[in-house]
C-alpha cells in the first residue's frame, strides 16, 4: 500500500502544499490565483510545468498524465482500471 495521497482532482494536487500561499510561493504564482484554481477545481495548463517541476508535486505523485486526465474530466480510477 502506498503512502502517497490519492489525487482525484486538481484540488487534491493543490492540497499537496500546506497552504495556497505555500503553493504560490513555490511556483511564484499569486496566492489569490491559487485560491481561484482551488475554487474552480482547475489549474491552467500554463502552470503544469512549474507544478511538475516542484519537489512537492513529484513526491505527491502528480504526473503529466494525471493532470491531463483531470483536465479532460475523466474519472481517474476508471481510466486506471482500464489500463
Mean per-residue pLDDT, 21-47: 97
pLDDT band at 5 (very low <50, low <70, confident <90, very high): confident
- Does the residue 3 lie in any domain? no
CATH number of the domain that residue 64 is part of: 1.10.260
* Structural domains of the chain, count: 1
State residue 4's pLDDT score.
64
> pLDDT digit string (tens) for 57-66?
999 999 999 9
Do the domain assignments include residue 35? yes
DSSP state of 30: -
37 falls within a domain: yes
Average pLDDT, the chain: 89
Average pLDDT over residues 55-77: 91
Q: Burial letters for 11-45: b for 16+ Cβ neighbours within 10 Å, e otherwise?
A: bbbbbbbeebeebbebbebeeebbeebbeeeebee
Asked if residue 40 is part of any domain, the answer here is yes
- Give the predicted TM-score (pTM) of the model: 0.84
Domain that holds residue 54: 10-82
**Predicted local distance difference test score (pLDDT) of residue 61:** 95
Amino acid at each position: 500500500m502506498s503512502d502517497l495521497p490519492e489525487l482525484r482532482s486538481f484540488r487534491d494536487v493543490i492540497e499537496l502544499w500546506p497552504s495556497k500561499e505555500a503553493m504560490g510561493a513555490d511556483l511564484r504564482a499569486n496566492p489569490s490565483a491559487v485560491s481561484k484554481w482551488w475554487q474552480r477545481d482547475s489549474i491552467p495548463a500554463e502552470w503544469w510545468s512549474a507544478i511538475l517541476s516542484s519537489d512537492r508535486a513529484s513526491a505527491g505523485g502528480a504526473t503529466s498524465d494525471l493532470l491531463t486526465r483531470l483536465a479532460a474530466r475523466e474519472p481517474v480510477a476508471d481510466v486506471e482500471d482500464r489500463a
